[in-house]
Amino acid sequence: MKNVALITGASSGIGKDLARIHASKKGDLVIVEEEDKLETLKSDLEKEFGIEVYTIVKDLSQASKCL
């Protein structure tokens, strides 16, 4: 099995730090956030660490928005 992490709230704060830590260990990522900042983070992590990053723009703060 490939080393992949799913990280929510990935565009800032703890989520961003966790994404960078996992990427530094050559783990691929699926990052989720309600903001469009994910594409910049995706590009930065892929270039810096040579990993694959998949993005999902979604607000997970309310169950009704997740459907």
pLDDT of the residue at 35: 78
Domain count, the chain: 1
Res 18: pLDDT: 96
pLDDT, residue 14, reads 95
Residue 65 included in any domain? no
Six-digit token string for 5: 């992490």
**Cα 27 from Cα 67, distance rounded (Å):** 28
Whether residue 22 is contained in a domain is answered as yes
Closest CA to 29 of 13, 41, 67, 61: 41
Sheet strands (E) in the chain = 4-8, 28-33, 53-57
Average pLDDT for residues 11-27, to the nearest whole number? 95
> Do the beta carbons of residue 46 and residue 39 sit within 8 Å?
no
Mean pLDDT over residues 27-32, rounded? 96
CATH of the domain at 14: 3.40.50.720
